[in-house]
Amino acid sequence: MERVESGGRKSVTIGRRYSIYEEEVTMARKIKLSTVVASDDEQLSEQAMISTFEKMTTPVHLKRKTQLKCRITINTYRCNMDNKVWDHPKEWRPERFLTRIMTTRISTMAFERGKRVCAAALQAMPISCMAIGRFRQEFE
């Protein structure tokens, strides 16, 4: 990570990820304020989502004495049901992975779900958390 001065405060940019410890601590503090839930349910009710977040969210106080909460849900069901990526995504057709055409297209499922798990699924969640921490840092 590289330090970039913007408006008198330090912000984090994509770059040398291994070098600066205090930005990692800042990001960890920002990510603690946000709750990330990966859900593969087709319909997740608002009440169930709220009760899940109330159990998972712990109050964290910063220098301002205000408690910040942010609810973020990554709906993996919707990620894997995109009509732009998949032809007829609601139909179970395993032969779609066996054609030669699929070798040039994205043929895996996002966020460790489904029969064809994405090879970068283990990397997707930390990248999502870093992006959320960055958004929190910029929009506070």
- The pLDDT score that the predictor gives to residue 2 is 42
Per-domain residue ranges for the chain?
A: 2-139
Q: Could you tell me the CA-to-CA distances from 54 to 13, 34, 48 in Å, in that order?
A: 31, 12, 10
CA distance 17 to 97: 35
Q: What pTM value is reported for the model?
A: 0.32
For the chain, residues with pLDDT lower than 70 are: 1-80, 96-122, 124-125, 140
Identify the pLDDT of residue 14. 52
Give the contacts of 75 (CB within 8 A, at least 6 positions apart). 39, 44
Could you give the CA distance from residue 74 to residue 59 in angstroms, rounded to a whole number? Answer: 22
Question: What pLDDT was estimated at residue 84?
Answer: 80
Question: Which pLDDT belongs to residue 26?
Answer: 59
CA distance 39 to 133: 20
- Binding-site positions for heme read 118
Annotated binding-site residues read 118
Report angle CA 107, 71, 47 to the nearest 5 degrees: 95
